Chains A and B, each alone.
Chain A
Amino acid sequence: MIEINAIHKRFYNQEVLKGVSLSVKAGEVVCLIGPSGSGKSTVLRCINGFETYDAGSITIDGVRVDANAKNIHELRMRVGMVFQRFNLFAHRTALENVMEGPVYVRRTPVAQAREQARQLLDKVGLSHRMNAYPSELSGGQQQRVAIARALAMEPEALLFDEPTSALDPELVGEVLNVMRSLARDGMTMVVVTHEMAFAREVADRVCFLHGGTICETGPARDVLTEPQHPRTQEFLRRLLSSSDAHATANPN
């Protein structure tokens, strides 16, 4: 469904992506892992046209992604995004945040959009907080509203950009649970994450990025338990030895 073919990108003199290729089939969950600066967020942001790329190609169901093209808005409706910092509309309630896209972009009748938003908030376990403003919600709750907001556009795939990195450790679990159930329902997902336990359990495939290339890719269990590439081995060893990662790797 998502085909990334040898994309290159440079910021000024720095080449941040050096020929990244990745293919994501419908219903697949792919986790991108790697140290900061490895280019994993940039890959993700290229998929829905938040970043341009200099060479190569990205297509979604055969439609080329071009950040400057007129059809980029239609493409973004088909590929939703969830951000590290939630980015909820601060002046609107949880319910209004979820309704915003359907009502003003898809022109769904308000009553219908409200009903749908209620169901989505119920699905992410927030039916009791529908009328709360973002400032009244915990980080975990805000992120779950953000997921519901993305789902309201009925996307074919969802991109997650470190969705739990800005959360207190005790709130990580509730967001991962929602993502887990999305994966179970067959949602196509590309997830940039440091949650190795989540990747091992949910991902069909894990890609380890380093220095703008994919060093190693394969079934989650193989890459995470028996990494072949020395860079992957070192990265995972470091991640597991830091106590912080240990705490968040076992949220419940």
Chain B
Amino acid sequence: MFLQNAIDFLPILLKGAVITIEITACAFVLSSVLGLVLALMKVSRNRALSTFGSTVINLIRGLPIIVQLFYIYFVLPDMGIQLSAFQAGVIGLGIAYSAYQAENFRAGIEAIDHGQIEAAHAIGMRGPLIMRRVVLPQAFRIALPPYGNTLVMLLKDSSVASTITVAEITRAGQLIASSTFQNMTVYTLVALLYLALSLPLMFGVNQLGKQLALRKSR
């Protein structure tokens, strides 16, 4: 019985899984770019820029993801900005996660020993070049393990996009369940699909962390 239903439902859920992966990937890229910009603002020596950066980060962190999604999907059209559910999902999750990414990048940037920055100045390097050649390459290495964890969190939180009708795994599950009443089968499958995606990711992140630790102790 479970197996028969599973075989019937799986193709629809797998389609949802593809959308989950797409929305996670797009939102991750967007949040990385926005997060880096916010982090650079926040560590900037320019007062106005750094205040602006931390204000934006705090605003984003202070709002539930679901409210941000609703705002983008339901309120922006009133201002003449029409977005598809998928686009709204990517933008909403991307913005929501940019705050976490920013804090993560900032921690990496601030972990760089100030002496190296001074040494870079001493050979005539200027701020932007120092950022690009000395600070960011090392900051990325430090930020990489938490960066991977953020990806896993984002994968799971992409289920929030179901609330604005993005047909990812959770939404696909809801639709099947409400028409077949096979709640147990459907949600068990949904849970298994998430695990099938997140566990390998977590394993990968772990391996990466171990390799980095090894390289450091070299």
State the A residues within 8 Å of B (CB). Answer: 48, 50, 73-74, 76-77, 80-81, 83, 85-91, 100-101, 104-106, 133, 135-136, 146, 149-150, 152-153
B115 x A85 contact (CB < 8 A): yes
Q: Which of B7-15, B131-139, B178-186 contacts A (4 or more CB under 8 A)?
A: B131-139
Can you add 15 more A-B contacts, CB < 8 Å, to A76-B121, A88-B116?
Answer: A48-B122, A50-B122, A73-B124, A76-B122, A81-B122, A87-B119, A88-B119, A90-B116, A90-B138, A91-B141, A100-B120, A100-B123, A101-B125, A150-B123, A152-B123
B129 interface residue (CB < 8 Å to A): yes
Tell me the bound Cα distance from A234 to B123 in angstroms.
Answer: 38
- Nearest opposing residue in chain A for B138, CB measure: A91
- Nearest opposing residue in chain B for A79, CB measure: B122
B115 x A76 contact (CB < 8 A): no
B218 x A133 contact (CB < 8 A): yes
A105-B113 in contact given A83-B119, A88-B119, A91-B138 (Cβ < 8 Å): no
A50-B118 in contact given A77-B124, A100-B133 (Cβ < 8 Å): yes
- Nearest opposing residue in chain A for B116, CB measure: A87
- Nearest opposing residue in chain A for B127, CB measure: A73
Tell me the bound Cα distance from A87 to B113 in angstroms.
Answer: 8
Tell me the bound Cα distance from A109 to B198 in angstroms.
Answer: 46
CB-contact partner of A91 in B119, B121, B129, B137, under 8 A: B137
State the B residues within 8 Å of A (CB). Answer: 113, 115-116, 118-126, 129, 133-134, 137-138, 141, 216, 218
Provide the residues of chain B in CB contact with A83, threshold 8 Å: 115, 118-119, 122
A135-B113 in contact given A73-B126, A76-B121 (Cβ < 8 Å): no
A104-B129 in contact given A81-B122, A149-B123, A153-B124 (Cβ < 8 Å): yes
- Supply 29 A–B pairs (Cβ within 8 Å), ascending by A: A48-B122, A73-B124, A73-B125, A73-B126, A76-B121, A76-B123, A81-B119, A85-B115, A86-B115, A87-B116, A87-B118, A87-B119, A89-B120, A89-B134, A90-B113, A90-B116, A91-B137, A100-B120, A100-B123, A101-B123, A101-B125, A104-B129, A105-B129, A133-B218, A135-B216, A146-B119, A149-B119, A150-B122, A153-B123
For the complex formed, measure the closest distance between the CB of B203 and the CB atoms of chain A, giving whole angstroms: 26
B116 x A105 contact (CB < 8 A): no
For the complex formed, measure the closest distance between the CB of B211 and the CB atoms of chain A, giving whole angstroms: 15
- Nearest opposing residue in chain B for A73, CB measure: B124
B124 x A105 contact (CB < 8 A): yes
Tell me the bound Cα distance from A73 to B123 in angstroms.
Answer: 8
Provide the residues of chain B in CB contact with A88, threshold 8 Å: 116, 119
Tell me the bound Cα distance from A10 to B125 in angstroms.
Answer: 27
CB-contact partner of A105 in B125, B134, B218, under 8 A: B125
- Nearest opposing residue in chain B for A84, CB measure: B115
A104 x B125 contact (CB < 8 A): yes
For the complex formed, measure the closest distance between the CB of B93 and the CB atoms of chain A, giving whole angstroms: 32
**B118, B119, B126, B138: most-surrounded residue (chain A CB, <10 A):** B119
4 closest residue pairs by CB, A with B: A101-B123, A87-B119, A87-B115, A77-B124
Tell me the bound Cα distance from A106 to B123 in angstroms.
Answer: 10
Provide the residues of chain B in CB contact with A149, threshold 8 Å: 119, 123
**B118, B120, B124, B218: most-surrounded residue (chain A CB, <10 A):** B124
Tell me the bound Cα distance from A91 to B122 in angstroms.
Answer: 18
A89 x B123 contact (CB < 8 A): no
For the complex formed, measure the closest distance between the CB of B172 and the CB atoms of chain A, giving whole angstroms: 44
Provide the residues of chain A in CB contact with B218, threshold 8 Å: 133, 135-136
For the complex formed, measure the closest distance between the CB of B84 and the CB atoms of chain A, giving whole angstroms: 42
B118 x A89 contact (CB < 8 A): no
For the complex formed, measure the closest distance between the CB of A250 and the CB atoms of chain B, giving whole angstroms: 29
Provide the residues of chain A in CB contact with B122, threshold 8 Å: 48, 50, 76, 80-81, 83, 150
- Nearest opposing residue in chain A for B125, CB measure: A105
Provide the residues of chain A in CB contact with B115, threshold 8 Å: 83, 85-87
